[in-house]
Chain A
Amino acid sequence: MRPVSSWGRLSAAPHDVVELADRERIGDALAAHQPGVAYGMGRSYGDECLNPNGVLWNTAGLDRLISFDPATGRLVCEAGVVLRDIQRLMIPRGWSLPVVPGTQIVTVGGAIANDVHGKNHHGAGTFGDHVHTLRLVRTDGTVMGCGPDHQPDWFAATVGGLGLTGVIAQAELQLRPSPGPWLEAETVPYTGLDAFFRLSDEAPADWEHTVSWIDCTSGADVRGLFLRANPTALSPGRPWRSRARAMPVVPPISLVNGLTLRSLNRAYYALGTRHPGKRLVHYEPFLYPLDGIQHWNRLYGPKGFYQYQCVVPPGPGPQAVRDMLESIQRAGEGSVLAVLKTFGDRPPPGLLSFVAPGITLALDFQNRPGALRLFERLDAIVRQAGGRIYPAKDARMPREMFEAGYPRLGEFLPFRDPGISSAMSRRLMGS
């Protein structure tokens, strides 16, 4: 037994961690140690990858590549391979992952289990859209292959399936041609949500990646930075070196708090407006801005933090976002990492995939009672608008909220593996 946390650091309960290292013998390990749940890089924020006092199947040792075809861009690899390793290896060879979340320290298995999205959702869809096949190992020892064209029902349940249909042993991913590691990026400061929606509407045609940071302390006339970028074959003619820094310790109190919030946001805005116009940036700092500071999640102190990420449909979306921002400001809560983005219309491949057409808002909140009260108000707004919350970021949504947000839950349940149970599955599905 050893203490394990997820990214939000809300708990550090003891777990019986079983290391999976041999892809041909996963079934034996699952049969001998269950019920449990798979653990990738623990980059989900809440209790999805946790099973306090129970078994965790750690996939870190399943990190081998199996084949790559440079003619088609198909990569077969084990599920514990970290996206950063694929990017670092393949981009110099002219290929890249088509979809990457805001951190690249996630595993292929984790990226499938949450059907993650990136800053290019409008063009590229979700991670699951680029999986040709995957191999699933069930706790009864059954091994099965599935993909969009083969056992598609199992595929739809497993993509975005929160790790509950079986352990993904390996996957065949479609990479796409990449002109190189540089992006031509532009930062556009704006004021007011209307300006954000205008920028978002214009962007898809011309920009591969779009995302916006907002200052959640700036009120209804929200101030933000719209970031957009395209891959480019241009290069600044100097090599890029990652300057990894780390948050060395857990401070005794959250460094993000009522006193610092406003100035942190101001500082970030000021930093962002320093370089208006187009410039070349390396893909790592643009796509994974926080990976440069290891353990940044320690900033929130020993009590940890929550992330609230929801998506609201296009019609009622803008008003819902306004209402949420107002509630957040009124509550005096909020974060330095408020992100606003629009998703494209492409329906995601999984029964429980989070992505839906509309607007997504994501914010971090230090763990204190006020934040939990605020979440209830935000839930009401999201529900009213017909939206949903992202399980990858969640540690507290009520079961009714989950059921309302994921109408295909009933179709999903028959695919669950009875030997798999997580703190989240017990909270949201009762087992």
Chain B
Amino acid sequence: MNAKTRIVVIGATSAIAEHCCRLWVERGPVDLTLVARDATRTERIATDLRVRGPASTVTVMTADFVDAKDIARVAKATTDAGAVDIVLIAHGAMPKQELCADIDFCRETLEINAVSPALFAEAFAGHFATANHGTIAIIGSVAGDRGRKVNYTYGASKGLIERYAQGLDHRFAGSGVSVVLLKPGPTDTPMAAEHKAKGRKLASAEQVARTIVQGIDRRKFVVYAPPLWQLIMLIVRHLPRFIFNRLSL
């Protein structure tokens, strides 16, 4: 038996995921596997985490996030090494909507934001079902709550993640496996650089990570971060179409 909580982070170079990892290593020894596409940058994050939490174990693994075989390999390799307690699926990319007019680029955007996280979730779900243990945490977005003209390719992908998570949550009801869907609002990370340049108010990655880590601890199914977004999106979701379509949200 491994005493340390074992956590696998998919998309570990994400600023939000990195802050989750900092919180985890700083509160006690954990066994972290960081999965991302770029070895050098991921190694740099691993080094930082080792300094922050010398009692933790941090390993780096690279993968092709849009290759189903590679996704299956990551899930198998990490679960074969011992029981995984948490998998955090964090990767995503939010391009300008106009770019998705290029159909090939649109496909890539759907693949990385919708298909890839769903495949990771499905792959880990298989292993967690066998072990009857584990938490599947996926980062969706408030953008998944209602399609909007500014980012509907990304938003629709996040919507798919929500349905997928719902299905998994239904499947694992009453079992040892839990599913957590995290929905950040606009957050100060490289992804939101354009929002920031426009002077929009953003939550800090650290603040969002705190809410995420807490949500995972509590195994809540849906967690908005910061929590205020729950109320905002309740209103946005229920705005009648004739009003909604006149707004440029």
**Measuring CB to CB, which residues of chain A are less than 8 angstroms from any residue of chain B?**
1-3, 17, 19, 21-24, 61, 64-68, 70, 75, 89
Contacts and interface: CB of A to CB of B under 8 A. Distances in A.
Interface of B: 15, 26, 40-41, 44-45, 47-48, 51-52, 54, 190, 193, 196-199
Q: Which 5 A-B pairs have the closest CB atoms?
A: A65-B51, A64-B48, A2-B199, A65-B48, A68-B51
A70 B15 CA distance: 28
A75 B193 CA distance: 30
B197 A89 contact: no
A382 to B, nearest CB: 38
B41 A89 contact: no
A400 B51 CA distance: 46
B242 to A, nearest CB: 34
Given A2-B197, A2-B198, A67-B51, A19 B190 contact: yes
B21 to A, nearest CB: 12
Contacts of B41: 22
A213 to B, nearest CB: 31
Given A2-B197, A3-B199, A21-B190, A66 B47 contact: yes
Contacts of A24: 40
A373 B62 CA distance: 62
A19 B199 contact: no
A75 to B, nearest CB: 8
A17 B195 CA distance: 12
A58 to B, nearest CB: 10
Nearest to B19: A63
14 contacts: A3-B199, A17-B196, A17-B197, A23-B44, A64-B44, A64-B45, A64-B48, A65-B48, A65-B51, A65-B52, A66-B47, A67-B51, A68-B51, A70-B54
A2 B196 contact: yes
B60 to A, nearest CB: 14
Given A1-B197, A19-B190, A21-B190, 19 more contacts: A2-B196, A2-B197, A2-B198, A2-B199, A17-B196, A17-B197, A23-B44, A24-B40, A64-B44, A64-B45, A64-B47, A65-B48, A65-B51, A66-B47, A66-B48, A66-B51, A67-B47, A68-B51, A68-B54
Nearest to A81: B48
A68 B51 CA distance: 6
A21 to B, nearest CB: 7
Contacts, number: 35
Nearest to B190: A21
A17 B188 CA distance: 13
Contacts of B44: 23, 64
A89 B26 contact: yes
A197 B26 CA distance: 44
B100 to A, nearest CB: 24
A194 B54 CA distance: 50
A21 B18 CA distance: 13
A330 B189 CA distance: 50
A75 B48 CA distance: 11
A61 B54 CA distance: 22
A336 to B, nearest CB: 29
Most A CB contacts (10 A, CB to CB) among B40, B45, B199 go to: B199
Contacts of A1: 197
A89 B26 CA distance: 8
Given A2-B198, A2-B199, A89-B26, A19 B193 contact: yes
Nearest to B26: A89
Contacts of A23: 44
Nearest to A64: B48
A335 B199 CA distance: 32
B58 to A, nearest CB: 13
Contacts of A67: 47, 51
Nearest to A93: B54
Contacts of A70: 54
Contacts of A66: 47-48, 51
Nearest to A92: B26
Contacts of B40: 24
Contacts of A64: 44-45, 47-48
A196 to B, nearest CB: 41
Nearest to B198: A2
A75 B44 CA distance: 15
A429 B71 CA distance: 57
A29 B220 CA distance: 41
A65 B48 CA distance: 5
A63 B52 CA distance: 12
A19 B202 CA distance: 15
Nearest to A65: B51
A61 B45 CA distance: 12
A57 to B, nearest CB: 14
Contacts of A17: 196-197
A284 B15 CA distance: 27
Contacts of B15: 61
B210 to A, nearest CB: 13
A138 to B, nearest CB: 22
A116 B54 CA distance: 29
A66 B52 CA distance: 10
Contacts of A21: 190
B56 to A, nearest CB: 13
A249 to B, nearest CB: 13
Nearest to B53: A89
Contacts of A89: 26, 52
A232 B45 CA distance: 34
A181 to B, nearest CB: 15
